[in-house]
Amino acid sequence: MRYRKLGNTDIEVSVICLGTMTFGQQNTEAEGHEQLDYALSKGINFVDTAEMYSVPGRPETQGSTERIIGTWLARTGRRSEIILASKATGPTPGLKYISPNLGFSKSRILEAFEGSCKRLQTDYLDLYQMHWPERRTNFFGVLGYTQHDDEWVDNFLESIDTMNQLVKDGKIRHWGLSNESAWGAMRSCSVADTNHLPRPVSIQNPYNLLNRSYEVGLSEISFRENISLLAYSPMAFGLLSGKFYDKTDTPNDRINQFKNLSRYNGSKSLEASERYIHIAREAGMTPALMALAFVNDRPCVTSNIIGATSMMQLTENINSVDITLTKDVLDAIELVHKDISNPAP
């Protein structure tokens, strides 16, 4: 395993992060524990979750992922061996079963944090993140920003000051953003600096062969402001594995099971995926390994958040850390990207 510094901190996180949003929906508690055991045996020290998980969000399964991680921590006593990250839920009408006051007010952040710690059976988090912005902006499948008339009132200061309180109280070590835009990232930095508060150390955004929109503005922020990209959905819901192209997918696969999660279902995504699959196979590797190796070694990426529903998938995903793509492969990837840029924002 390889490790990189998390933002401007002294924490070193594994290049591969274990994403856990399938625990409690597509994976049982026993399977989740097996994944955690195996990941740590391979040098992974970074585990990411959220209060709304498992995915898709449903009242029956909300918090199930954190509870599964919590029982693993209680059973193994390995809390000190992992960098544990979770997220507070942003406002969404369909998720009000989590809380009627979703968002990032002081009271809601503290409520969400305490709930996560209880389920995780820990008294602190290494990284606490705001899952998506309160305001209307371009995230979750929206590539460009258009002016919105919303009722959002800027409360960056209240949110960041609350994170600072959690840091001072020893409850979190650092805080981060998720599904954030360039404006939101820089606004966070500006408010933090003006008020002598800690900056975000990371941004957890989608990044894969079908969605490289992070490169447009946010990658410069990662470099110049030392804010780590924690890349999620590197396999584009499994589309980049080749199983849908090969017709070996099953009804249990994520794209088939959750038709409402349609970010990767467009015709251009399918066309680009087919071309990437051919590049990988001509280079003598599986499409999954190529897709993950690409994300692992992008200059703006600190850690690649993988997710698996089987141990076979998990093993292959982790093995991607040992793959270095050749210039010929990277050049071929760029040709596809030039022809079909960001078909799945």
Neighbours of 161 (CB within 10 A): 16
* Given the residues 38, 53, 124, 232, the one annotated as active site: 53
- The residues pairing with 85 across neighbouring beta strands, listed in sequence order, are 48, 127
Q: Give the residue from 316, 305, 248, 336 showing the smallest Cα distance to 17.
A: 305
97 in catalytic set: no
Report whether the peptide linkage leading into residue 54 is cis, meaning its omega lies within 30 degrees of zero.
Answer: yes
Task: Tell the residue number behind the tokens 């954190």, with chain if given.
Answer: 66
Distance CA 125, CA 198 (A): 16
| Residue 28 CA: distances (Å) to CA of 15, 69, 87, 208 | 26, 11, 21, 27
Q: Are 218 and 179 in contact (CB under 8 A)?
A: no
The helix-helix angle for 106-120 and 64-76 (nearest 10°) equals 50
Question: 232 pairs with which residues across the strands?
Answer: 206
User: Looking up tokens 């990250």, which residue turns up?
Assistant: 85
Q: How far is C-alpha 84 from the chain's CA centre?
A: 13
What's CA 35's distance to the chain center, in Å? Answer: 17
Is residue 198 a contact partner of residue 163, using CB atoms and an 8 Å limit? yes
CA quadruple 7, 297, 80, 306: dihedral sign: positive
- Please state the φ and ψ torsions of residue 325, each to the nearest 5 degrees: -75, 140
Q: Are 236 and 211 in contact (CB under 8 A)?
A: yes
Residues identified as active-site = 53
